[in-house]
Structures are given as C-alpha cells and as structure tokens.
Structure 1
C-alpha cells in the first residue's frame, strides 16, 4: 500500500486545463481570474465581499492592519492553532493574550474569554481571533454578543472550515466566514485544505469600509481608482496612499481555485463520510477519545463540521504516532500550543498557563482525512490504530 498522509490535495484534469487556459491567456497575474474567484467564493460562503491574497498568513496580517491593530492593541486568541493566528497581531506591534480551550471541542472556551475580559478594565482589549479548529465552527453568535458587550472586533480564522456551519439561536445555518457575526474572516488554500491553490488565501467580510482598506493594502497601498485620485493627472497616474504589501495572488492560482471550488461540496461530503466511519469504530473503543464526534450531522443539536482534521486523543500519543509511521501512515499533531513556543515564552508565557490546551496537546493525533482516501486505506488506518491502542 502507498504511504497515507494526514492530508492530500486532489488535482483533476479539469484543474490542469483551467491552469493551462490561464497560462495561454493574456494575464498570469492581476487579471480577471482573481475577481472571478473572489465573486464565486463570496457566493459560496454567503458574504458580500471577498479579497484573494497570497496565503492565509497574508490574509491574517492584512486583517490586523485593516482593523487598526497597533502597539496599544490587546487581542485574544486560542493557544491551539497554527502560530499565524497569533503572529498577525505581533506583526502590527500588538500584544497577544490567550484563552484556554474547551477540552471537548478543542475550540477557545468562551467562558475563559469572558473571565479574561473581566480581569481587565473595559477598553483594555480590542479584539478576538476565534479559530474554527479542525473544521468545527465556533459559535460566533455567542462570541458576537460578548464582543459587543466589550466593544471588540472579531476576526474569524476559518482556514479549516470552508463549507462548515453552526446553527444560530433561530436554528438557521450560519456558514463560516459569512460575515454575519465576525467583522472579517480568513481562509487558506494550502494543498492540505479543502480548496487547494498551492498557496493562497481569502478574506471575507460584509463591511465595505474594511473591504476597501484590504484591497488597498494588498497592493502596496497603491490605487489607480479615478474616484480616489486628483483629476487630469493622466492615465498612468497612481498614488501610494498607505504603507501596504505585495500580498497579491496570481491568476494561475485563482484559476485552479475556481476549478477546485466547483467540487468543494462533494469534497466536504466525502470528508464527513470518512469521519462517520471513524466515529463508528473509534467511538466504541474505551482507549480512544474522539474530539467532537458526530458533528457532521444536520441535527439541531450539532454543528456542520468541515473536517479539515480528524483528531483523536490517546494516552500514548508518541507511541501511536511512531507505530503508524512504521506502517507508512503519516498522522500528524495539531498543534503545539502557541504559548509554549520559544518566541512567546520570551514574551512571558509559560508552560502551565493553559492546562486544557497542554493536556490536549499531550494526547492529540490527526488521522488521515482527505476526499480521495479510499475505503481500503480508511480500514487500514482503523486496523492499525486499534491494534496499537488495544495492545498497550
């Protein structure tokens, strides 16, 4: 059997032809495919505006800039995420604060966030960056109520969750990134994500003012829009109005993204089917804890898990990790708590600050999860996981 990674892109003949057609067109970058991708992604997510950028980290950085993060800003996020969710605040000179996770879901615990907010005077904190970890959506309606109480913005890190949703208090589906409760949301198109462009990211919002800032900051802070410039300066004229970055994405990659988006729903359904099979087996084993099982259900008590990752918790995580690798199953660990990274420890965070996150990290393992994972491969993964945990 071929090696089985934890995540893997799927490139079809349609994807290849979409890229080839763009290579043969007049634009390799800054052309029409970018706007087409933005419009189609906005429609898929259910938001008003979308801004395509170079990668998910660039998306986070631009959002922090557009939201006005600076040296006086204090922003709350989760320790269980990729470091970029926190780093975007540091890029702008702000201070990162962490709130511990709910052990049952891996998501930032809203009660811990509330406790942190209460520990400082109102006005001390400026924003919250919740993360839809593993594809499980944060219940942003509740976070929005809390944020409004303290006059905070919300930046949703939805990199793991395109197509995911939660049910609001009216029982209505709220898609991740739709902008109803978050000021901004970001997505990643890294190869292991639902939609792969190689590298790439997207920012979504319903706020026109923030959208205009993002478009400006994405391209060096430069504009050529006539309505923003003095009259009669000539067709060549442009102005750099802000200190921005070159965070553009080329047409080649957005062409691939458009093609991938066409089968996003099918890929999401496949992920949920794989998760259901894993749940069916691992849910019966007393040596395995499933992180948020059965969340793929449409039942009103559940949420629309997007399953970027399928995470289990086991006592001997290192042993299982090594055992699976011996059988060419390349499971992965998501994530090392951000506050334990040397950089953040230099800023004062310490081991022991967030017990739930640290306990989660000691036991977590992400099993193979991607649409082209065959039934034979799934059964092989299941067989080897059970063989190890029941021999301990």
Structure 2
C-alpha cells in the first residue's frame, strides 16, 4: 500500500516532529532562489551587506533561544548540527578541560571520573566508551524500576575525582522525567560539572537553564518541529571547555564552521512556539496519554512498561510505552504501518537493532518481554481521533 500522508496517523514524535508552520514561515525567505536570497542568506561571517543581514538574523535567533531556554546570556548558546554533536562536544569539551585544570593544579594520583546514566541516548553512551579508552573511569548509573535516576544513587557514585556528570532530563523511551536541579546540585557539591541531554524535555516540561543550574545542556531542532541538522549546546559562562570543532573560530571559538542561518532562524521560531504553548499542550497530551494507557491496560497481552499514574507529571505527557507479549516489536511496527499508523519500538537511532533496548535492559526487563516493546509518542498534530483509531487497530494487529 502506498504511503498517503493525508490519512497516515503519525505517532512517533519522540523520533522526530513534523516541521511546524512557524519554523517554515521563518525559513521561507531563505528558500528564494538566486541572488535575491542574499538579502537573508549571506555568509554571517562576511562584512558586506548580505553578510551583515545574515549575521543579524543569526544573532536574533541566538537571543530568542537564550530567552526561551532560560539562559542568562545569549553567548551561552552555541549552535551545532544537532544534539548528537552537542552531546559529544559537551562531554569531551568539559571533561578534557576540567581534567587539564586539575592536573595543572597538581592533583597527584588523580584519575578523571565521568558519571552517566545507563539509560542515556547513544550520543552520550558512545562518548562514555571513548572516555574509558582514554583512561577515564566511567560509572553508569542504573535507574530504579520506573526509569528514574535517584539523587541518592548519584551521591553514592560521586567522588573526589569526578569531573563531569551527564544525566538526561527525560528518557526518550519510557518518558521518565529526572530531577535535574537536584542532580546538578549534588554534582556541584562534589566539585563536578553537570550536563544534561534535554532533547526530549523541551516543549513537554518547563526547561530553564538558570533555574536548573546546569553547566551544559543539549537540544535538537527537529524534536520540536524545527528543521533537521540544527541543534544547540548551552554552555554556562566560565565553564571550562575544549573546542572539538576547530577551524575558523565561529561561535566564539567553541564550534567552528559556517553557520546555518536558515536552520537557526527556523529553530528559534519552533522553540518560541512550543514554549508559548507548553503548559496547555502538556495538559492536552497528558489526557491522551492517560486514555491510551487505560485502553492498553484493558487489552489482553499488553503490559505497561512503567507505572504512570493518571495525570502524573513525573513522566513526559506525550509518551506511552508498552510491551506486547508473544510478539516482536518489528512485526507489530510493520503491521501497524500497513494499517496507516507510525510508531516505534524505542529510540529511532537504534531502530534497526534486533537486540532489546538498553533502556529496558537497565530496568531489568527480561529479553522476551523487551522484544515486544512499542513506543507511541504524540505531539502537536495528534488528535483524540488519532489515538482512538490506534486503540482500535492494535488488537487487530495482535490477532
């Protein structure tokens, strides 16, 4: 059956969100072909009129994002190609710089220590492996059975050699929202810096850099209806940092490369839209989430992966995660797709893996149950009719 976007029910917003109208409108002038495009599409590093126009648009996007993310200063916003780059830059940039500072101060037998959670995105877990190859000690914190990293667990793992802690703001699979301000405080009390991957949290829960008091945070445009290929690294002023992308010295020397002006402008517009609507939209999505969990509880052979109480704000309002007994998620996804429903089995970055999700393994869920995982994630364009149609379709694909 040919894909028909007009009738397809898309329920995979945690993988990517459709481009929103606000972002498309903001980027529209950059799509004008030919010389006229230079009115907004010049190189932001050039001194001539088109370059100055591009620079002005780019810096306005930076100021808008700083305001909406709760940063104290616009220069704490560093544009990247996405959250994967932002995660790697934050981890390597801060850990290496902090390690160098400690060694210059004569730290003796100091062996740098990095702490991450076991349920992070691979953009954090892969750098953690690299750290080990570089001689760092790495601790991977296990969550409790409901998917939460507890402050007490972090406090037990911290020691005098810890240079950096990285714990996500919200989990992309089961939707658990972590107490970032408390976790950051624990890290700081032990003398460590704190980074959070806030990709899934933005637009779903309040996100405020200054209130959280984190040293760094990563964001991705396409998760909130912005364009793909754009992200942000929030880097608090005066946090030690070793640039990973070297070259022309853009972004204050912290991330070289010609800036994606159109992407930055579209991203800022998308974030402005989701931040303005966050409270009302979270309430609407939470009601759909609760309806879907309740319906799944009535289906034989369908088990909620974590216990999400009705109205709970401890979990993201837009994610439902279940395990379907006796089925493999790949088969369920393809059958649902044939009926016109788009869902996933977990993180899109690991969607071609036949192994159980590392998140579910960290929750101590056995492989047989984990292989039947389904993640249904909703967003701005999801309607109550979409959810009810999915509720009707799931038992059919299970038969």
Q: Structure 1-normalised TM-score?
A: 0.71
- For 1:373, the equivalent position in structure 2 comes to 382
Report deviation, 1:162.
Answer: 0.9
**Matched residues in 2 for 1:352 and 1:380: separation?**
27
String of CA shifts for 1:194-231, please: whole Å, max 9, x gaps.
Answer: 242211111224x32139x58x6666373798xxxxxx
Matches within 5 A, 1:279-290: 279-283=290-294, 285=297, 287-289=302-304
Report deviation, 1:271.
Answer: 5.5
Paired residues of 2:221 and 2:230 also in contact (CA < 8 A): yes
Structure 2: 5+ residue stretches without partners: 1-6, 32-36, 45-54, 101-110
316, 319, 325: which one pairs with 1:315?
A: 325
Work out whether 1:101 is the aligned partner of 2:143: yes
Report deviation, 1:274.
Answer: 3.3
Work out whether 1:9 is the aligned partner of 2:24: no
238, 246, 251: which one pairs with 1:209?
A: 238
**Matched residues in 2 for 1:292 and 1:221: separation?**
50
Paired residues of 1:128 and 1:154 also in contact (CA < 8 A): yes
Paired residues of 1:158 and 1:186 also in contact (CA < 8 A): yes
DSSP 3-state at the match of 1:11? coil
Report deviation, 1:161.
Answer: 0.8
250, 257, 267: which one pairs with 2:260?
A: 250
- For 1:60, the equivalent position in structure 2 comes to 87
Matches within 5 A, 1:313-392: 313-316=323-326, 318=328, 320-335=332-347, 354=362, 356=364, 361-362=370-371, 364-387=373-396
Bigger fraction of residues in helix: 2
DSSP 3-state at the match of 1:333? coil
Report deviation, 1:39.
Answer: 1.4
Q: Structure 2-normalised TM-score?
A: 0.70
Report deviation, 1:155.
Answer: 0.4
String of CA shifts for 1:313-342, please: whole Å, max 9, x gaps.
Answer: 44345264454234232321224999xx99
- For 1:196, the equivalent position in structure 2 comes to 226
**Matched residues in 2 for 1:353 and 1:264: separation?**
32
- For 1:73, the equivalent position in structure 2 comes to 112
Report deviation, 1:176.
Answer: 4.9
Paired residues of 2:343 and 2:377 also in contact (CA < 8 A): yes
Report deviation, 1:56.
Answer: 0.7
Paired residues of 2:219 and 2:232 also in contact (CA < 8 A): yes
**Matched residues in 1 for 2:177 and 2:262: separation?**
30
Report deviation, 1:251.
Answer: 0.4
88, 97, 101: which one pairs with 2:127?
A: 88
DSSP 3-state at the match of 1:98? strand
- For 1:237, the equivalent position in structure 2 comes to none
String of CA shifts for 1:243-279, please: whole Å, max 9, x gaps.
Answer: x654664001112113322321466444642341231
Matches within 5 A, 1:268-307: 268=278, 269-270=280-281, 272-283=283-294, 285=297, 287-289=302-304, 291=306, 293=308, 302-303=313-314, 305=316, 307=318
Paired residues of 1:33 and 1:255 also in contact (CA < 8 A): yes
- For 1:143, the equivalent position in structure 2 comes to 183
**Matched residues in 2 for 1:291 and 1:40: separation?**
36
Report deviation, 1:84.
Answer: 0.3
12, 17, 29: which one pairs with 1:21?
A: 29
- For 1:133, the equivalent position in structure 2 comes to 171
Structure 1: 5+ residue stretches without partners: 166-173, 226-241, 343-349
- For 1:169, the equivalent position in structure 2 comes to none
Report deviation, 1:108.
Answer: 2.9
